[in-house]
Structure 1
Amino acid sequence: MSGLREKQKADRERRILQAAVTKFRADGYRAVRIEDLAEMAEVSVGTVYNYYQTKGDILIATVAMEVEEVLTAGEQILRDPPHGVSAALLTLIFSYYDHSLEYLSKEMWRTAMALAIEAPGTPNGRRYFELDQRLAAQVTELVIALQDRGDVRPDLDARAMGTLLFNNLNQMFLEFVRNDAMTLKALRDQVAAQTRPIAQLIAVS
């Protein structure tokens, strides 16, 4: 019976998050009420509060859902990175970008970032930055993997380089979500232009 209860619990949470993705994207985060999400998810308002204390909790949970899928896809890239430092780095970075609007709109990303920055010591703030740290760690793991394969210079501080690469891709993503007119192609093109010279500098010649 406990297995069935867990399955039912997971299904209710999934429906709440799917409702949040749909309603936040369609109506805007600030316009949506908890009652709207409960109605769309076909659960009671009390049930929503059993899972999440605030609407912000639900938004950060959608970010976590997004990042978990991105990290899983990144693990597959790490198992067999493309040949060439530039190709390997951009494959991982683009996998992050290409999935970034799967669940969240730019407005949702801006709001989630604001929640995390305004209250970094809250559970939401800590969770958001923990997700960032996991993405940064994955970029670093790729640099280490390329170094182990002999593609990246052995004297390079792979952890420092991984942090630098992540900080740049993260800053550029911030620019992307800040600017509603900026396309995904423009983001990819700009980051590729920034990453390729770095790849040339750290690659074994």
Structure 2
Amino acid sequence: MAGLRERQKADRERRILRAAVTQFRADGYHSVRIEDLAEMAEVSVGTVYNYYRTKGDILIAVVAMEVEEVLASGAAVVTDPPDGVCEALLALIFGYYDHSLEYLSKEMWRSAMALSIEAPGTPNGRRYTELDRRLAVQVTDLIRSLIARGEVRDDVDANALGQIIFSALNQMFIEFVKDDAMTLEALRSGIAKQIGPLARLIETETTR
């Protein structure tokens, strides 16, 4: 019976998040009420509050769902990177970018970022920061893989470089979500222009 209850609980939560993705994208995060999500998810309002204290909690949960999926796909790139430093870094970064609008609209991303900036010490602010930290760690792990494979110089500080690259890709992503007219192709092109010269600086002689 415990297993059945857990499955039912997980199913209710999935329905709430699916409703949030659908309605936040269609009507805008700020316009949607908890009552609207409960109706679409076919649960009571009280059930929604059993899972999430605020609408912001639901939005950050959607962000977490998105990030967990890109981390899972990024793990394959870290384990077996494409040949070439630039190619490997862009494979990971493009994986993040290409999935970014799977669940969230640009308006939803802006709202989530605002929540994390306005109240960094709250559970939502800390959770958003932790998701960013995990993405930065994965970038660092990829650099370590490239060092181990002899493509990146072994005198490179992987931790520092990983943070630099993550900061660059994250800033480009912020510019992307701020501008509704900016396309995904423009985002990809913009980061490629930054990563290419950096890759040439850190690659070994044998990879040039």
Question: Do they superpose with TM above 0.5?
Answer: yes
- 1:133 Cα deviation (Å)? 0.1
- 1:76 Cα deviation (Å)? 1.0
Q: Distance in 2 between matches of 1:185 and 1:16?
A: 32
Tell me what 1:7 maps to.
7
- TM-score, with structure 2 as normaliser: 0.98
Tell me what 1:107 maps to.
107
Tell me what 1:25 maps to.
25
Tell me what 1:200 maps to.
200
Q: Distance in 1 between matches of 2:61 and 2:17?
A: 8
Does the alignment pair 1:63 with 2:67?
A: no
Tell me the amino acid that sits aligned with residue 158 of structure 1.
A
- TM-score, with structure 1 as normaliser: 1.00
Tell me the amino acid that sits aligned with residue 166 of structure 2.
F
Tell me what 1:144 maps to.
144
Tell me what 2:179 maps to.
179
Aligned residues: 205
Tell me the amino acid that sits aligned with residue 65 of structure 2.
M
Report the RMSD for the aligned CA atoms in angstroms: 0.4
Tell me the amino acid that sits aligned with residue 177 of structure 1.
V
- 1:78 Cα deviation (Å)? 1.0
Per-residue CA distance 1:92-151 (angstroms, 9 max, x = gap):
000000000000000000000000000000000000000000000000000011001100
Tell me the amino acid that sits aligned with residue 20 of structure 1.
A
SS at match of 2:180: coil
Tell me what 2:155 maps to.
155
Runs of 4+ in 1 over 2 A off after TM superposition: none
% of aligned pairs identical?
A: 73
Q: Distance in 2 between matches of 1:57 and 1:158?
A: 33
Tell me what 1:130 maps to.
130
Q: Distance in 2 between matches of 1:31 and 1:87?
A: 41
Tell me the amino acid that sits aligned with residue 139 of structure 1.
V
Once the two structures are superposed, the pairs formed by residues 31-46 of structure 1 within 5 Å of their partners are 31-46=31-46
Tell me the amino acid that sits aligned with residue 57 of structure 1.
D
SS at match of 1:90: helix
Tell me the amino acid that sits aligned with residue 188 of structure 1.
R
